[in-house]
Amino acid sequence: MECHTVTRTSRMEGGMRYGNRRRRAGMWIAGLAVIAAIAASIQLSRPPELVWWTSPPLGNTGQHVRVLIPYGWKSRMLPIRRDFTNGVASYRILPVENRPALIRWLFPRPTEDAVVGIDAMLIATPTQETSLVYETEREVFLGDPTARRSVQSRNVQAVVNYFRTDKYTFDRTYAAICNSLRIE
């Protein structure tokens, strides 16, 4: 007499196989959620691309020039034409490398030629107009993009010139920088 043994797989064993797949899929979804949360927090906590810069008072006029500049750029003082005593003040705002020397050596960035130039001039004969704003002029000078805008109050005229060799960043920021020029 032959005896046949019937073996049956229990539901537990079959369920474990599918349970592992579900658990693995759950881990992938959780991992993607963590990555998305990290990316969102980095994006939301980044400093703004442009920040306000304000000049010192322009002589005894009590007025200041205000303009948006790229984050991290610093004003360099020009040895002449800075104090407005002769009716003219010039400022140059340039990119500054703030990273530690070791990091700069390990991960060098290509240097970029860029400047935001601001010139303020006292107007000899004040105008009756409270404010004149000129259109933003954008052009290509020696292969690199530049933009310029001028604003005039009753007794002060200010001009902003923006130049940058990084064309992509220039195109993204020039309108905001030039259109932000104010005399207050």
Residue with tokens 């810069």: 53
Lookup: tokens for 99: 């990273």
If you count them, how many residues does the chain have?
Answer: 184
- Of the listed ranges 29-33, 64-68, 113-117, the one predicted with least confidence: 29-33
The residue ranges of every structural domain in the chain are 1-46, 50-183
Q: How far apart are CA 20 and CA 9, in angstroms?
A: 17
Q: How far apart are CA 153 and CA 104, in angstroms?
A: 43
Model confidence over 121-177: pLDDT tens digits?
A: 887 766 666 556 667 777 777 778 899 999 988 788 899 999 988 888 899 899 999
Model confidence over 10-41: pLDDT tens digits?
A: 555 544 555 677 778 788 888 888 888 777 77
What fold does the segment set 50-183 form as a domain? Protein Transport Mog1p; Chain A (3.40.1000)
Backbone φ, ψ for residue 153 (5° rounding) = -100, -165
Tell me the DSSP string of 72-104. Answer: T-EEEE-SSS-SSTTSEEEEEEE----S-HHHH
With b for 16 or more beta-carbon neighbours within 10 A and e for fewer, the 7-27 pattern comes to eeeeeeeeeeeeeeeeeeeee
